[in-house]
Each structure stands twice: as C-alpha cells, then as structure tokens.
Amino acid sequence: MRENKLEKSRKILTQSARYDNSCSSSAAKRQTHPYGIGNSHLGGICHTWSADGRCVSLLKILLTNICQNNCKYCICRRDNDVPRAILSPRELAKITLEFYRKNYIEGLF
Ligand code: SF4
C-alpha cells in the first residue's frame, strides 16, 4: 500500500525529533520481555511524568525539519542530505488526535 503524504511527513518529522536530547526515550530501539513495560522505538513516542506521578506517553515530533541554517551538530542543517517535510498546525492536530484516539499517546511534545 502506498504511504500517504501525511504519514510520510509524520515518519520524517518524528525521526528528526529523536535527536532532541530533552527526552531520550524515543532515541533508541529497546524491547523488554513479553510482559515488560518500557519498550522504545527510534522515533515518535517519548515518556514523561505527570503532576500526579504517572508515566505518560507523548508524541514527539517537529513541525518541520527544513532550515536555512547550517549548524554542524544538527540533523536538520541545510547541507545535510535527509528527507524534508513540513506540517501545518491542522495536520499536526490531525495526527495527534488520531494517535490519542488509538490510545498511543496522552499528549504532544
Ligand atoms: S540547523 Fe541550527 S538553526 Fe537550524 S534547526 Fe538545526 S540547530 Fe536550529
């Protein structure tokens, strides 16, 4: 099946977001035993703690990875040959609500 534009953009922009060190749980692929918790994937979902102490899942994504600057440490730098994408606020809201309704996430980062 052909991947639609929104799904393709989501994949690109969640992969780009994984380089943000403010949350490392979506930056590595790790699988626990069959009844364990805390599996992580290369991009897309990160975890944080709510005020009442619960661990919650957030969709971690950029609005765009298109940048005119060329900071050497950054995956999004202009000269880096990576797939590029941009989402409108409406598209980001659509993706977020879709993930929320499927119970994948409780919020957006
Ligand atoms: S290249 Fe520099 S300005 Fe552009 S997104 Fe990366 S860190 Fe930010």
Choose the residue to mutate in 66, 69, 72 for probing ligand 1, maximizing ligand atoms within 8 Å of C-beta.
69
* Buried residues in 6-28 as b, exposed as e (16+ CB within 10 A): eeebbbbbbbbbbeeeebebbbe
Does residue 18 have a pLDDT over 70? yes
3-state secondary structure 67-95: CCCCCCCCCCCCCCCCCCCECCHHHHHHH
Tell me the whole-structure pTM to 2 decimals: 0.79
Share of the chain above pLDDT 70, in %: 82
pLDDT tens digits for 36-52? Answer: 666 665 568 888 888 99
How far does residue 4's CA lie from ligand 1's centre (Å)?
27
61-86 average pLDDT score: 96
